[in-house]
Structure 1
Amino acid sequence: MADDTTTPIARDKMGRYHRTPEAIARDAEAAHLYFEVRLSYRQIAEHFGWKNHTSALQAVNRALRDVAEPTKELRDRRDCELQFLWDAAMDIYNQRHIVVSHGQVAKMNGEPIEDHSPKLQALEQMRKINAEWRKLHGSDAAVKADVTVHEVTQQDLELQEMIREAKAHTQAEEQQILDGGTDG
């Protein structure tokens, strides 16, 4: 069953579903509302009458995929948003958090007990922000490798051994010359 952001859909001759031009335009408008007007996903969902914010998120993501490569301006804006989120998470991580129980600061041996939960939550958010940043900049893209396979034969191994022996012999002769003697 299609979500509420892809209705109207159409089928091609092979029976596959495709988004109609109306759905594509609506997704583009959702992206405009998110990036330009700065509405939240929940506000976008309400604007279109969708059931929840996930539908708005999916519409914005489809609109971004429709663009072959996001423009530098959109990428830079998203980069700034991610930097803001990173800085906010880092601020939370760097603060000292204490345990409060029943409205009172919890203490052990007269010292406030430190609460590590906010720091761990901040680290988790930073991990997610980092993943988004890597996606935005293509750091997780597959790496193409040019590999050449060379079969090593017994003759190759014998040649390598002859070269090693010749180098060792030459080095011994050079050392003998440097030592000033010739045994001939």
Structure 2
Amino acid sequence: MTGRMNRRQMMMLSLPILAAPSALLAQAATPAAATPRPAYDPAPTEVAIRDGFEVGSIIVVSDKYYLYHVIAPGRAVRYGVAVGTAELVWKGRAVVGRKVEWPSWTPTQAMIERKPEQYAKYANGMPGGPQNPLGARALYLHTLSGQDTAIRIHGTTEPGSIGRAVSNGCIRMRNEAVMDLFDKVPLGTPVYVY
């Protein structure tokens, strides 16, 4: 993370408006037409964002493969993420309802039905640890009424997947990034996924 922003970090952001939970924000900044879009950078980076976002909240912009943790008015830490494939992208509003270090993992019934050769052997679960697909940490997203959405923001054993749509709906981060975020967000943190 850097304390100063360079021109690359000032690139356009597409973030949600929090005034209405389902509304989308237009471009926060528009670079000059001749300015090429920088290469995708998954490293945690402090960036400027449009004012009006709830400090402490998490915003995921699925089609850009970034998660933003709002740290101050107009400022956020941006992390690279992997998201669900087109038919499995989860979008909505939630809160962090549970936090787990080295979480266990059980594939959903839908995952087992889609790819039994890959997931059936884990139908009874897999204990947490370095080989577990949820990685080092998991933030469990719950509805505003407290129900588990089955969507997680979690680490990964496949860091090369960051920046792509490859998951079964959850939001993956590199292990070191999810560990950083895990330590910064309390239970009840608002999460907006677009």
Q: Specify if TM > 0.5.
A: no
Larger Rg: 1
Tell me the TM-score normalized by structure 1: 0.27
Structure (1 or 2) with the greater strand fraction: 2
Greater RCO structure (CA 8 Å; 6+ sep): 2
Tell me the TM-score normalized by structure 2: 0.26
